Structure 1
Amino acid sequence: MVKLESIQKVYFIGVGGIGMSALARYFVSRGVRVSGYDRTETPLTKALVQEGIAVHYREDINVIPLDVDVVVYTPAVPAAHAELVYYREHGFEVVKRSDVLRWITESSFNVCVGGTHGKTTTSTMVAHILKDSGYGCNAFLGGISANYNTNFWPSERHVAVVEADEYDRSFLKLVPDIAIVTAMDPDHLDIYGTAEEVENAFIQFAGKVKPGGCLISRYGLKRGDELSADTHYTYGFNETEADVYAANVRVEKGAYRYDVIHKNWQLKDVLLHMGGLHNIENSVAAITVAKQAGIEDDKIKAAIANFKGVKRRFEYLLQADENGAGPVMIDDYAHHPEELKALISGVRSLFGDAKCTVVFQPHLFSRTNDLAEGFGESLDMADEVILLPIYPARELPMEGVTSALIAKHMRKAKVQLLSKEEMQAYVKAEQPQLLVMSGAGDIDALLEPVKELLSGGK
């Protein structure tokens, strides 16, 4: 096995992935020469190129470097990928992203944040508090922090905050000192097969916490009583039975003010400028980590108050003026029924009964097929829903599985199945005043054009 300290040149297959790019940036920060392949050019790959990483977009063994110490690939890359096959057949050290994360975290104090949803915002909050307070950490995130415009930052301190990805059971290679479990809902059933197997994996993840370590899990999780560690706190939103919870929540000019209550401490008047009640809950978990780390209360509150969120997580692209005039446009990565439920509930908590239009791009045929009823129920919380075609990602089409499968389960909201072009024409004509864009595919490419249609170029 290659030792981390000896790596001088590394090649990434799928370098533009959110988790892969964080690792690529880590190696660049250590002076390692980094290059990689991705299928398409994106704003993230362009940023990587500007940071000194050579990226190409053609699957071609004639252009790949042969003088590399290690090749890192993402499980999202097909096993028959020509470059991956070549490296494997010619004796190169070929490892998964999760293997590299294990190498990195073997000698550090690790805060690992897992969950079928909520993990990106929560891990970014934890990392931001540690950085903003001066405590310091190496951050490996599954989203772009709006405060720092990156998904990775280094630190001299041997502390790592890692988003623990359950896909392909990757998170089971990590060894947390502090672990957070935000949710254990059915997802990635193409990998796990059953909801029970998903839950089993999270129970295993909790069991990876080092002796003397701390587990922080959301109150009320199904099989939550099977999660255990030497120290275990549950957290929640207004759940007085939980060990730590948010209470006395007030809405102030589009922000939340609240108290965080623990039996041994209280943090009063926390201010969060990020929409969505679920993000208050996420902050309770992050604050609990900060208290475990011994960070002072005023530094924690200051960090939460200046937390700008994560790109594509309840991100405001347009906001009404001080008098409430003008359109509101919110973008979110939500691609699971529970995430959509939290997203739309958060919108309702801030905007009441204002007409809410949601544009949703389903992600994966398998997920749509498995969770169509749940998607329908969550989307029914909106007034109007536009369903775009399914984004396939790594999958081939499944017979009979289209966005219409979700529409079949909707009873309340007005629903339309439109192409991307038809959706944009509809927005231009109707000018919805509260528009939510959601999905994990390539819907982000539509954000600027739709924003232009709503704002008139302002």
Structure 2
Amino acid sequence: MSKTDKIENNEKVLPIGKGLGWAANVYFIGIGGIGMSALARYFVANGKHVAGYDKTATDITKALQDLGVYIHFNDNIAEVHPKYLIKEDTLVVYTPAIPENHSELNYFKLNNFQVLKRSAVLGEITKQTKCLAVAGTHGKTTTTSILGHILNVCDVPVTAFLGGISENYNSNLILNGTDVTVVEADEFDRSFLTLTPDLACITSMDADHLDIYGDASELVKTFKEFSECIKPNGKLFIRNGLPLKGITYGVEDNSDYSAKNVRIENGSYVFDVQTPNGLYKDFQFNLPGRHNLSNAIIALAMAVDFGCPYNQLAKGLASYKGVKRRFTYQIKTDDFVFIDDYAHHPEEINAVYQAVREMYPDRRVLAIFQPHLYTRTRDFIDGFAQSLSNFDELLLLDIYPARELPIEGVTSKWLLEKIENQNKKLISKSALIDEIKKSNAQIVLTIGAGDIGEEVKHIKEAFSVEN
């Protein structure tokens, strides 16, 4: 049983935001989203009646149902329990991924319910706490989960809202107190501008979400706006090289906080951390990849600034297990390795490739990639082609549309034609296992942010028997 499941009878939970405490019921439209489900768990822990809609049943929705949350999967107001249709008692929370023509969302708006975006609710909850926010186009979820875990190990009274399922807690919510919040500050739809953090970091500002921003310069401008949301006496941490002013961090460089003497011992990173106040020695971190090491450095930097003691910091980092679908080992034997990762941007795919090559320099690697969104595929088609060409073999799935309608000419076939790797093939999900069996690759990767994650368990079952 996770800490989240046990918290219902624990008084150490955050008070509901002053503008939200009136609601006896909270109804979520898009409750299966990773950020939405964390909020749903939070309101359950606070004794609220919680229900919601999502279009598809998943492991996340099942976990919520196990907590007593009623969820239905048809966009039909008739399926909403009558108590959630009482305007005076019900707060409605929705994700911007929900289409504008969603009938339930429009019903609540037309009938003058209190309807708020997820980001506004998160902003209301966190503004009465000491808030540590993690922003960036890549690395948010891993960094947030490292930071939340470290603070929890250091006995900080913290609640952390995570953008993924923590392997340490089997949850996207860490509940352990009322004073401090750790949040993933999401740039999509400019959601992070609702936050007023005390400490914030920015891990990266690579072009993404151009369907929202139009161009990369507008994205950078919005990150600068986020930096201005920090409280007057707050601090901003930035990865060295980003075009903002703040406390810098990096790996083996001259940053304010920097990993030094980095080496690999028994499959883990061991390193020292140079800080403005001296050198902290011999940290252990068990996730592969320099990008993950960079995430660990900024989490440590924020925890050091917060005042966590060295011994507890080292214990917290060494015990960190990762986030599901972030370079998650599904099978790991001498002869066969199966890794699953959420990467859905060319830079993220490059980071996965670097990590695989660092750990398995002489192994043949088969990557299975499902593009996520037509707009992202269109906007970064050449970057995707370049990053995917690095792998020894490639199986490509059709584009996962999520919230979007098809765009003429934007297809996986178009992407496949641009990929230089000759060992490439466009396949359906139904043919996936058979195609993997045809390969002699010793390393298999599933990559993407769509429903490819639902195929992982089938692949694991098929190959665990054989290996």
Select 1:63's aligned residue among 71, 79, 84: 79
How far 1:256 moved relative to its partner?
1.3
Determine if contact 1:382/1:413 at 8 Å carries over to the other structure: no
Determine if contact 1:133/1:300 at 8 Å carries over to the other structure: yes
Aligned partner of residue 77 in structure 2, secondary structure? coil
Determine if contact 2:148/2:174 at 8 Å carries over to the other structure: no
Distance 2:296 2:251 in 1: 10
Q: Does 2:278 align with 1:257?
A: no
Distance 2:393 2:212 in 1: 33
Aligned 1:394-409 pairs, distance under 5 A: 394-409=403-418
1:51 corresponds to: 67
| One-letter identity of the residue aligned with 2:428 | S
Distance 1:364 1:423 in 2: 21
Distance 1:312 1:345 in 2: 17
2:225 corresponds to: 204
Distance 2:422 2:232 in 1: 50
Determine if contact 1:2/1:93 at 8 Å carries over to the other structure: no
Q: Does 2:237 align with 1:219?
A: no
**TM score, norm. by length of structure 2:** 0.93
2:350 corresponds to: 341
Q: Does 2:317 align with 1:317?
A: no
How far 1:247 moved relative to its partner?
2.1
**TM score, norm. by length of structure 1:** 0.95
1:25 corresponds to: 41
CA displacement, residues 142-194 of structure 1 (integer Å, 9 cap, x when unaligned)? 00000000011223331100001111100001001011101111111111000
CA displacement, residues 351-402 of structure 1 (integer Å, 9 cap, x when unaligned)? 1121111111000000000001111111122111111111000111111111
Determine if contact 1:381/1:413 at 8 Å carries over to the other structure: no
Runs of 4+ in 1 over 4 A off after TM superposition: none
2:145 corresponds to: 124
Select 1:72's aligned residue among 93, 96, 120: 93
Q: Report the RMSD for the aligned CA atoms in angstroms.
A: 1.5
CA displacement, residues 182-230 of structure 1 (integer Å, 9 cap, x when unaligned)? 1111111111000111111111111111112111111112xx2xx24xx
Select 1:155's aligned residue among 176, 190, 193: 176
| One-letter identity of the residue aligned with 1:421 | S
How far 1:264 moved relative to its partner?
2.2
Aligned partner of residue 250 in structure 2, secondary structure? strand
How far 1:277 moved relative to its partner?
1.6
2:5 corresponds to: none
Select 2:442's aligned residue among 433, 444, 458: 433
Residues 431 and 33 of structure 1: CA distance in aligned 2, closer, same or farther (over 3 Å): farther
1:188 corresponds to: 209
Determine if contact 1:15/1:38 at 8 Å carries over to the other structure: yes
Residues 298 and 2 of structure 1: CA distance in aligned 2, closer, same or farther (over 3 Å): closer
Aligned 1:52-451 pairs, distance under 5 A: 52-64=68-80, 65-67=84-86, 68-221=89-242, 224=243, 227-228=244-245, 232-238=246-252, 240-320=253-333, 325-412=334-421, 414-430=423-439, 432-451=441-460
How far 1:412 moved relative to its partner?
4.1
How far 1:445 moved relative to its partner?
1.0
Aligned partner of residue 6 in structure 1, secondary structure? coil
Aligned partner of residue 62 in structure 1, secondary structure? helix
Aligned partner of residue 264 in structure 2, secondary structure? strand
